[in-house]
């Protein structure tokens, strides 16, 4: 938190998740959106609570800890059939397929 003022952490180590204060978004979520949208301006235009400094801060954190952020993005992108195998007790809705 000292290295990246504006980044907070949810949960406890080792499962802590960095998030951008004031946005409600984890760093990986904001980076995933940035990569999808292609520009900071497009993200800021579409997300009212996200500012350019928020996006720059998330990008700086990602640059410092790329494996952590890329792993979280990959986890979120797992296909539904893989999630069902890993978590057979969870029922996935049709929109996740």
The pLDDT value given to residue 75: 86
* pLDDT of res. 96: 53
Lowest mean pLDDT among 13-17, 24-28, 57-61: 13-17
Taking only the tens place, the pLDDT of each residue in 36-84 is 999 999 999 999 999 999 999 999 999 999 999 999 999 888 787 887 7
Report field, pTM of the whole predicted structure over 0.85: no
**Within a domain: 87:** yes
Cα separation, 79 vs 83, in Å, equals 6
- Residue 13: is its pLDDT beyond 90? no
In a domain, 69, yes or no: yes
Q: 25 lies in which domain range?
A: 7-96
Number of domains in the chain: 1
Instruction: Single out the residue of 66, 81, 60 nearest to residue 4, CA to CA.
Output: 60
Q: How far apart are CA 5 and CA 13, in angstroms?
A: 19
């Amino acid at each position: 938190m000292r290295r990246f003022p504006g980044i907070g952490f949810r949960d406890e180590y080792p499962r802590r998740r960095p998030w951008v204060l004031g946005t409600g978004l984890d760093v990986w979520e904001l980076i995933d959106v940035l990569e999808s949208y292609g520009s900071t301006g497009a993200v800021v235009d579409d997300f009212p609570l996200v500012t350019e400094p928020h996006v720059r801060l998330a990008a700086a954190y990602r640059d410092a800890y790329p494996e952590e952020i890329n792993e979280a993005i990959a986890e979120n992108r797992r296909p539904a059939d893989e999630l069902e195998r890993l978590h057979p007790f969870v029922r996935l809705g049709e929109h996740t397929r």
